[in-house]
Chains A and B, each alone.
Chain A
Amino acid sequence: MILTKEQQAILDGEKGETLAKVMKTLVMYGDAFEAEKLVPITSKYNHLVTSFGLKVMAPVYDLMQQLLDAGVSSEQKFSVDPRPLDKNVPANFLQNLVFNKFMYTKQGFYEDQLEKLGLMDKNAFTCTCYMDEVSNKPKKGDVLSWAESSAVVYANSVLGARCNRNSGIIDIMGSIVGYVPYFGLLTDEGRKATWVVKVETTKKPEAQLLGSAIGMKVMEDVPYVVGLDKWIGNELNDAACSYLKDFGAATASNGAVGLYHIDNLTPEAVELGKDLIAEGAKEYIIDDAELERVKNNYPVIWKNPDAKPKLCFVGCPHLSLEQLKEWTVKLEKALLENGKKKVTIPTVFTAAPGVLEVFAKTEYAERLKATGVITSYICPLMYMNNPLCKKMPVITSSNKLRTYTSARYYTDAEILTAITGGKQK
């Protein structure tokens, strides 16, 4: 890798041993991908994936402390993934004991570290930092050092920013020196699609199911999706962005997609069209039967597959303001139709603190509360990341949550029926 004089000086230790190690990490990371150079990060803010003060992650906090002790904090302020705990979310005595006394004992300590390292504000905990209400929204062409997979794929695909699927810790190291290695999704070549996915369904495909199918098929490759604009339109409005948020998270967690292009919709596809498709790209056709096949193949890992669900999570990734409003209306209608006043399964809707704050000021907030749904800023994935939850029948419409936990996936419509006491078709 060819370094500038300034970069080489940092690597040689002219700005201290710790900063030299940070630079060495980035250079070795880049070398693994034959990166020729480091390029400046141009986004206003960074976003970190590590939000949890898990006792077992002590080596991460030790490393962060080394950075703080050496005074090498990031010049960029940052947001970070959601908190793992929220008293509003139902948990039994044993769960609370495990969460607070065993698993997340480092939460307060780590949040103090984050503040010292450059946290945007005390509420900047969400996986959807790009929401208007959170304000960490990169511009087209911005170079980022992010790691959260659902945020990376959204920033690349919907916003047209440039970011690799970095790992946690690498995210902050890039931000500290202000550079990232130039490879993969930062390059024009790396952003070309090596798959053409043709959506040939007879109805609007479920975002999280379509994303899952594509993720599992293309893995880390870049898909160019045709036929989806027929269902979600040609404008990146709230509805389309919410759809793409959920779709992208599923492509990233069920596979390892860091960028997708949607014909006639996402910025690079609008600008360059089919020129984005690489020579020899493979083809994947998705129809109703294929989506059904994918859904039916998800393993059910509940001890009793017929168990009555004890909890429902909606909002992984965090819901948008638009989605919170939509769900409120859908819930009221379904409860009325089913002759119920409140949800029949404890249900948690998760969203960014900033989004919840704005939502609370709308007329929908009281209406949603009246349905019995709890709103929270929690990370459902972190909540379920323990053996106690493994035994708990949890349902979700998040394919990411399904992938990493024992939660069982249902479509939004099926979830609505389940939590309002309706009968599944």
Chain B
Amino acid sequence: MKQFKGRVVTPGEVTAEAVVTKEGFNTLASFQMALQFGDKEVKCGDQSNKDLYGKPLLNKALCLPQTIGSTTGGLVLYCACAMGKNPACMLFSSHIDSLAAAGAVLADVWVDGVTMPVIDSLGDEFLDYVKDGMTITVKDGGIVEVE
């Protein structure tokens, strides 16, 4: 087990299985088809993302550097949370970007009953270490345990 320390963007504690991308995560491209056409597993629809395309995102610990793409990204993430189609948590190796931050904050403030902890600044070592299928535990204070 290895422990990493990041910065809390939105709080919460959760344990989930990791899905990992080392590329920028395009929120719109990843979620749009799954949300629109009712994919129960919320499989990633971004064909440009070789790490994640076709993999389920629902209730996973999404490990990523940053999000990229359309500025609808934040509201797409907000919708995913409001519809209960969100990852269990989002863990950023870099500083969070403005679109992901917006989505995380909108979900935290405006969606009742959904907790999606978001931690950023976990460092490059975090993304080098974590692999698909590993178990991630997010604890208070930005602590992320990987085993």
* Partner-B contacts on A (CB < 8 A): 21, 24-25, 28-29, 32-33, 49-50, 54, 56-60, 62-63, 103, 147-149, 152, 164-170, 184, 219-220, 253, 255-256, 299, 301, 385-387, 403-404
Q: Apart from A167-B98, A386-B36, what are 14 other A-B pairs with CB-CB below 8 Å?
A: A21-B109, A28-B109, A29-B98, A29-B105, A32-B96, A56-B79, A59-B78, A103-B36, A168-B74, A169-B74, A220-B66, A256-B68, A301-B47, A404-B70
B75 interfacial by beta-carbon distance below 8 Å: yes
Kindly list chain A residues whose C-beta atoms are within 8 Å of the C-beta of B120: 32
Decide if B102 touches A170 in the complex (CB within 8 Å).
yes
A161 to chain B, nearest CB (A): 16
Cβ-neighbour of A33 out of B24, B99, B101, B109 (below 8 A): B101
> Please, how many angstroms separate the alpha-carbon atoms of A29 and B74 in the complex?
11
Query: B residues engaging A (CB < 8 A)?
Result: 9-10, 24, 28-29, 32-33, 35-37, 47-48, 66, 68-75, 78-79, 82-83, 96-99, 101-106, 108-111, 120
CB-based contact B97/A220 at 8 Å: yes
* B75-A56 in contact (CB<8A): no
Do B109 and A168 touch (CB < 8 A)? no
Q: B71 is contacted by which of A63, A148, A255, A301 (Cβ under 8 Å)?
A: A148
Q: Chain B residues near A59 (CB, 8 Å)?
A: 78-79, 82-83, 111
Docked CA distance A170–B99 (Å): 9
In the complex, which of the residues B9, B48, B74 contacts A167, with contact meaning CB atoms closer than 8 Å?
A: B74
Return the chain A residue nearest B105 by Cβ: A28
Query: A32–B9 contact, CB under 8 A?
Result: yes
Contact between B68 and A168 (Cβ–Cβ < 8 Å)? no
The answer to whether A29 and B102 have CB atoms under 8 Å apart is: yes
Q: How far is the CB of B64 from chain A (nearest CB, A)?
A: 14
Instruction: Jot down 11 A-B pairs with beta carbons below 8 A, ordered by A.
Output: A29-B101, A165-B98, A166-B71, A169-B74, A169-B78, A170-B74, A219-B68, A255-B68, A299-B47, A385-B32, A404-B28
Q: Pick from B37, B72, B73 the residue with the most CB of A within 10 Å.
A: B72
- Contact A152 B102, beta carbon cutoff 8 Å: no
Checking A56, A147, A168 against B35 with a beta-carbon cut-off of 8 angstroms, the contacting residue is A56
**Cα of A378 to Cα of B26 in the assembled complex, Å:** 23
A148 contacts across to B, CB distance below 8 A: 71
**Contact between chains at B75 and A25 (CB < 8 Å):** no
- Are B79 and A60 interface neighbours, CB within 8 A? yes
CA distance A32 to B35 in the complex (A): 27
User: Which of B74, B83, B97, B105 has the most chain A CB within a 10 Å cutoff?
Assistant: B105
Within the complex, what minimum Cβ distance (angstroms) separates B4 from chain A? 19
CB pair B71 A56 closer than 8 Å? no
Nearest CB in chain A: distance from B19 CB, A:
22
User: Nearest Cβ in chain A — how far from B31, in angstroms?
Assistant: 10
A256 to B71, CA, bound (A): 9
Kindly list chain B residues whose C-beta atoms are within 8 Å of the C-beta of A184.
Answer: 98
> Which among A29, A57, A152 is the interface contact of B75 at CB below 8 angstroms?
A57
For B97, what are the chain A residues with a Cβ–Cβ distance below 8 Å?
220, 256
Question: Which listed residue (A60, A167, A404) contacts B102, Cβ 8 A?
Answer: A167
With both chains docked as a complex, state the minimum distance between the C-beta of A114 and any C-beta of chain B, in angstroms: 14
Q: Are B75 and A167 in contact (CB under 8 A)?
A: yes
A147-B71, A167-B73 known; A32 vs B101 contact (CB < 8 Å): yes
Give the CA-CA distance A219 to B97 in the complex, in Å. Answer: 11
A167, B32: Cβ atoms under 8 Å?
no
- The answer to whether B98 and A164 have CB atoms under 8 Å apart is yes
Q: Roughly how many angstroms separate A283 CA and B26 CA in the complex, as a whole number?
A: 26
Question: A-B pairs with the 5 shortest C-beta distances?
Answer: A167-B74, A59-B82, A167-B102, A168-B75, A32-B101
Distance between Cα atoms of A149 and B72 in the complex (Å): 9
Known: A29-B101, A56-B36. A404 touches B109 (CB 8 A): no
Chain B residues positioned under 8 Å from A29 (CB to CB): 98, 101-102, 105
Task: List the A side residues contacting B71 at CB < 8 Å.
Answer: 49, 147-149, 152, 165-168
Q: How long is the Cα–Cα vector from A50 to B35 in the complex, in angstroms?
A: 16
**Residue contact B33 to A387, C-beta cutoff 8 Å:** yes
**In the complex, which residue of chain B has the Cβ closest to the Cβ of A23?**
B109
Q: Which residues of A contact B106 (CB under 8 A)?
A: 25, 167, 169-170
Q: Which of A32, A50, A168, A253 sits near B105, CB closer than 8 Å?
A: A32
How distant is A332 from chain B, measured CB to nearest CB, in Å?
35
CA distance A387 to B32 in the complex (A): 11
Which of B9, B36, B98, B102 contacts A169 (CB under 8 A)? Answer: B102
| Measured CA separation A166–B98 after assembly (Å) | 6
| Nearest CB in chain B to that of A54: its residue | B36
Which residue of chain A lies nearest to B31 when distances are taken between CB atoms in the complex?
Answer: A56
Across-interface contacts of A63 in B (CB, < 8 A):
78, 110
Contacts of B10 in A (CB 8 A): 28
